[in-house]
Chains A and B, each alone.
Chain A
């Protein structure tokens, strides 16, 4: 966890990406395409936006791996939770 010794990221560049992705997200729900394509597009864009915030605004890209591992734990738990509940979601 170094004190901020890295070069300052291009914050405005990240902002424009977040804005474009948000506009695309809202636009996607009005496009007449199959539901599964809408779901895949929306989830992909949301994960991309969340990753941009974590990497550049929260400086995870410039931090040691220990912090990245801490940040990863909740996502592993969520995947585990979904897998454990799958039998209830899709009963035989």
Chain B
């Protein structure tokens, strides 16, 4: 062990300095923290309205759990594809990167398709049958606000990832840009995990 290394044994490593190369990642984390506050407020508001309501229906008896469990699985798998695409671009394997990021985009599109189907089914068949409707009942209103806000984030993620895929293909973006896009996509997955539990299962 060198003298310099010996001196630092047992000393906590210093934090990496905030260099311009890292500003993008810091900016994304700050954005995600703000976005998490928006989702957090919506979920807490949902919980309070539900608690205050005397006739809140059991969500699993109205909402399709099997479909949303599949949608949860899809987002988890797409998160794995995202980290695999990042790993590939960090190793300089562009072909593998393109394959996995394309799968992430496809996963996002299938998720949105499932959500469109779910909404259509609820609006046209299920909710009228239970005398629940958007704007008339808090159950329906909070459901559409929360899942709709999340759906907009998935839409944004699909567009963002597509832009990253094109930019990397044209050598305009590098691995650090993919890492930042990955943070956003994992956040979308993380929020859905919470929505799935609080809105669909509980």
Cβ-based interface call for B26 (8 A): yes
Cβ-based interface call for B77 (8 A): yes
Are the CB atoms of A74 and B37 closer together than 8 Å? yes
- Closest B residue to A56 by beta carbon equals B83
- Say which size band chain A's interface belongs to: 35 or more
Contacts between chains A and B (CB distance < 8 A), count: 117
Are the CB atoms of A3 and B80 closer together than 8 Å? no
**CA of A77 to CA of B34, assembled, Å:** 11
Are the CB atoms of A71 and B29 closer together than 8 Å? yes
Enumerate chain B residues within 8 angstroms of A12, measured Cβ to Cβ.
Answer: 80
Cβ-based interface call for A64 (8 A): yes
Are the CB atoms of B72 and A22 closer together than 8 Å? yes
Are the CB atoms of B29 and A42 closer together than 8 Å? no
Enumerate chain B residues within 8 angstroms of A42, measured Cβ to Cβ.
Answer: 197, 201-202
C-beta contact mask, B181-196 vs A, less than 8 Å → 1, else 0?
A: 0110011011001101
Which residues 157-202 of B sit at the A interface, judged by CB distance below 8 A? Answer: 175-176, 179, 182-183, 186-187, 189-190, 193-194, 196-198, 201-202
Which residues 24-78 of B sit at the A interface, judged by CB distance below 8 A? Answer: 25-26, 29-30, 32-33, 36-37, 39-41, 43-44, 47-48, 51-52, 60, 65, 69, 72-73, 76-77
Output the least CB separation between A59 and chain B (Å).
8
- Closest B residue to A58 by beta carbon equals B186
Among A4, A28, A85, contact of B44 (Cβ-Cβ < 8 Å): A85
B residues neighboring A (CB under 8 Å) = 15-16, 18, 21-22, 25-26, 29-30, 32-33, 36-37, 39-41, 43-44, 47-48, 51-52, 60, 65, 69, 72-73, 76-77, 79-80, 82-84, 87, 90, 175-176, 179, 182-183, 186-187, 189-190, 193-194, 196-198, 201-202
Closest 10 CB pairs of A and B: A74-B36, A46-B197, A64-B15, A1-B22, A78-B40, A57-B186, A2-B16, A53-B190, A74-B37, A58-B186
A residues neighboring B (CB under 8 Å) = 1-4, 8, 11-12, 14-15, 18-19, 22, 25-26, 28-29, 38-39, 42-43, 45-46, 49-50, 53-54, 57-59, 64-67, 70-71, 73-75, 77-78, 81-82, 85, 88-89
